[in-house]
Amino acid sequence: MTPHSIDRAARPSVWSGLALLLSTAHAIVMPDGVTGKVPSLGWNSWNAYHCDIDESKFLSAAEVIVSSGLLDAGYNYVNIDDCWSMKDGRVDGHIAVNTTRFPDGIDGLAKKVHDLGLKLGIYSTAGTATCAGYPASLGYEDVDAADFADWGVDYLKYDNCNVPSDWQDEYVACAPDAVQTGPNGTCSTALEPNLAPPGYDWSTSKSAERFNAMRNALAKQSREIVLSLCIWGVADVFSWGNETGISWRMSGDISPEWGSVTHIINMNSFKMNSVGFWGHNDADILEVGNGNLTAAETRTHFALWAAMKSPLLIGTDLAQLSQENIELLKNKHLLAFNQDSVYGQPATPYKWGVNPDWTFNYTNPAEYWAGPSSKGHLVLMMNTLDHTVRKEAKWSEIPGLSAGRYEVRDVWTDKSLGCLSSYKTAVAAHDTAVILVGKKCRNW
């Protein structure tokens, strides 16, 4: 690690307009007016390696991102997760980098990653220790933010572990992954006596205060650093997260299993109103290439994450990733929808399918989704059942469309399907049909 060479007191902040942006738009807008507007794309170390990390793994991932064409497709973050530091406390008030794992320090790694045309992310926690027990940032926000900036960091994943008792919230919010819920995912004081009263302002909570402290510390730096809140959907982050960071985790951790994929889709289907430019529900790191997900389940996983406009952070050993999955991650239609600079809203459910509309069900969530984009309406039909089902997308049921004939393209094959009055297809178990509905055909 190189010594600090910049006089922090003399550096102008790139965030000088932050307070104005917060007071007028009630949302974080990064100073360059571009970064964070659409979901982040990149790679994160946790799902592949957990704490078994070192510089070579990040450089290898960075090189594959470039050589595979993933960088050209938009994936530009290489993000360090937990366990990058020494575990036995701070040195002179600073988190000490584990120089056995990172012999050139985080700043040395950042330079190598930047030289490849990529950006570097790092990890900390708004608590007394990270989730794996390493030094964290609560009470040290200014010190750590300044170190991250000096090291050349571009992105901070900020977790929520090891919160001390004096920083616990007065109430709990209705977060199904954190509290007991009743029928259809509802909460009540009978099930959770400490449930927040109706109308409670969660932006005044201690959770918001903890995360805002890091937002404010990053705002003082001369380097632009994206803040991603890994807060698991608690403290009703959906109501205030957009004042603090550009994305926020909306659930507990993902696992590479079909039940985890549908679990997260179900929860997020009820939280789509909080998604827009500079603000995204983070459905967690992608499991493409991991676990026992079938090819069909992997397609559904990626398609729904892209359509929900979650950040898309690859979470596997890229050197072992199949070409089929690399091509899936590069699907130009799904990435175009996720990264659309004109339409900020995500795809949303327009029909539940197996269950009545607005049913909260982890096994069979909403199956019919659609959303507008610069290229047309993205329409998805997911099959949550264990056998093939024939499905139909009817234009009259989709918000923004009406009866008629439209130009339709298959998102998976990139083939034109011609002018159709609806789209009917057989969808295999756990797979998802995805089409792009373009202009109305002439003479209709």
344 sits in which H/E element: none
Question: Which pair of structure tokens corresponds to residue 70?
Answer: 């993933």
Query: Is 249 marked as a binding-site residue?
Result: yes
Query: Is 232 marked as a binding-site residue?
Result: yes
What is the C-alpha to C-alpha distance for residues 389 and 97, in angstroms, rounded to an integer? 53
- Per the annotation, the verdict on 253 as an active-site residue is yes
Question: Which pair of structure tokens corresponds to residue 155?
Answer: 């992105």
- Residue 11 DSSP code: P
Q: Which of 249, 224, 247, 244 is nearest to 28 (CA)?
A: 244
Q: Which residues of 251-290 are buried (b: 16+ CB within 10 A; e: fewer)?
A: bbebbbebebbbbbbbbbbbbbebbbbbbbbbbbbbbbbb
Q: Active-site residue among 159, 284, 340, 431?
A: 159
Query: Is 236 marked as a binding-site residue?
Result: no
Angle at alpha carbon of residue 257, lines to 306 and 226, rounded to 5°: 40
What is the C-alpha to C-alpha distance for residues 384 and 381, in angstroms, rounded to an integer? 10
Query: Is 424 marked as a binding-site residue?
Result: no
* Sign of the dihedral through C-alpha 415, 417, 422, 423: negative
Query: Is 340 marked as a binding-site residue?
Result: no
Distances (CA, A) of 140 to 113, 124, 126, 217: 26, 11, 10, 9
Query: Is 159 marked as a binding-site residue?
Result: yes
The one-letter amino acid code at 154 reads D
* Sign of the dihedral through C-alpha 187, 192, 198, 202: negative
Query: Is 253 marked as a binding-site residue?
Result: yes
Q: Active-site residue among 54, 104, 253, 317?
A: 253
What is the C-alpha to C-alpha distance for residues 76 and 39, in angstroms, rounded to an integer? 12
Q: At what angle do helices 141-151 and 206-219 cross, to 10 degrees?
A: 40
- Per the annotation, the verdict on 159 as an active-site residue is yes
Q: Where are the alpha helices (DSSP H) in 256-395?
A: 258-269, 295-307, 323-329, 332-338
Contact 312, 288 (CB under 8 A): no
Residue ranges of the binding site for beta-D-galactose: 81-82, 157, 159, 232, 249, 253
Catalytic (active-site) positions: 159, 253
Residue ranges of the binding site: 81-82, 157, 159, 232, 249, 253
